[in-house]
Structure 1
Amino acid sequence: MNEWFTIEKIDEGTFAISEYKHWEQTHCYLLIGKEKALLIDTGLGISDIKSAVLNITDKPIQVITTHVHWDHIGGHKYFDNIAVYEKEKNWLCSKFPIPLQVVKANLMKESCFFPKDFNIDEYKIFRGNVNLVVNDMDIIDLGNRQIQIVHTPGHSPGHICLFEKEKGYLFSGDLIYKGTLDAFYPTTNPFDFMQSIRKVKKMAIQKIFPGHYNLNILVSIIDEIDKGFSELYETGKLKQGNGIYKFNNFSIHI
């Protein structure tokens, strides 16, 4: 049993695979259909997430990337079938936009009980081929489960959420969570982030599954984040370099 990951059952075919022992508290999600399984993100790459997945299902696995940041692609190295939004294919296949030393510094930012076989000196950012390039509104059919791609740029240019209309599940990546929403990197765009929040606000969402921190968040947080971005925009503050603005359940870093 892999002790690095915490596995939580959401329903009969949906599981959260979390890295609570790291300060980023990443969440990946395994969605199991009749024909195959979809793994949404692969976490930090600190431990072998595939071993955790294989303890849950023996179905063929398709990995889908919400966005190409180190804390969401670290475990891609364990899989053959990888999907990514077309705007970030090159980040995955050729050149990651953030230097390795910056990534390592973030990984080690706060102390935690890393697995005994983890060596930061050997850590590498995943680079490899993809078998599927997705676009906005595409559908991934797992056999009795259809998952829709929703392009939600802002945190990164090719950021996506995944929406299961039948259940009202939104897997939100780094668009929505309780914590600091980041739009301060050179590759981020605060205005696009605001527009993406408004885009998902129109959807019939029953439950949000975030990429980090608290799993139990209310759908009403979408309205709260929308109001936060709108307030900054209307007062002329929605510009990179302005700092961190704190709200009740989240902050916005621009």
Structure 2
Amino acid sequence: MLLSIGMLMLSATQIYTILTVQLFAFLNLLPVEADILAYNFENATQTFDDLPARFGYRLPAEGLKGFLINSKPENACEPIAPPPLKDNSSNTFIVLIRRLDCNFDIKVLNAQRAGYKAAVVHNVDSDDLISMGSNDIEVLKKIDIPSVFIGESSANSLKEDFTYEKGGHIVLIPEFSLPLEYYLIPFLIIVGICLILIVIFMITKFVQDRHRARRNRLRKDQLKKLPIHKFKKGKWIFLVCVNNPT
């Protein structure tokens, strides 16, 4: 019984492990979709890879569509020019910022204060993607807009064909990731099943032990058939029941 329970628990754990590995493998084999979709005035599209910042709000699930504006000044280390006043209330504007000269959080905060709904920070002399972070808690509390990081080549292409002045627009697509519940819930289910099996095994073992103990106990009619020998020593009488008398 113990061996069967152990094998069942092992099988359940192995199944969960295999399914998890297969899921990760499936996600890694999916075609890589760029996080920025760019459309020019002729509605031709191009895609660019980006890396979301580790601060600020996350992009909405459906993505964020807006018009791309070059930051003035480009590094956004000081207050920058706001979006165009024309239809500013109804349109969404995203600012393109150059890396270096100050921290990422300062750049994004200046973009937010100028009225932009998102910020795209690009690398300089490199196409490497950097995970933007911050250690300034006070600044982080003030940032409400999302931001992403792109390489220099992507930034140059966006400037040439997809800015607001060129009649283009972009869509920031959030990265695909499964919520923690997708992994946690199956794991808790497996753990719960294992605990239930352990409880069932303990109850079964207890019942079997009680049944075995009662089965080995003599019945009343069997006890009456046992011979009784009396031994006298002084005033005391000892009664001894012998199961197998000689």
What's the TM-score, normalizing by structure 1? 0.22
- The structure whose Rg is larger is 2
Report the structure, 1 or 2, having the larger helix content.
Answer: 2
Q: Which has the higher contact order (CA 8 A, sep 6+)?
A: 2
What's the TM-score, normalizing by structure 2? 0.23
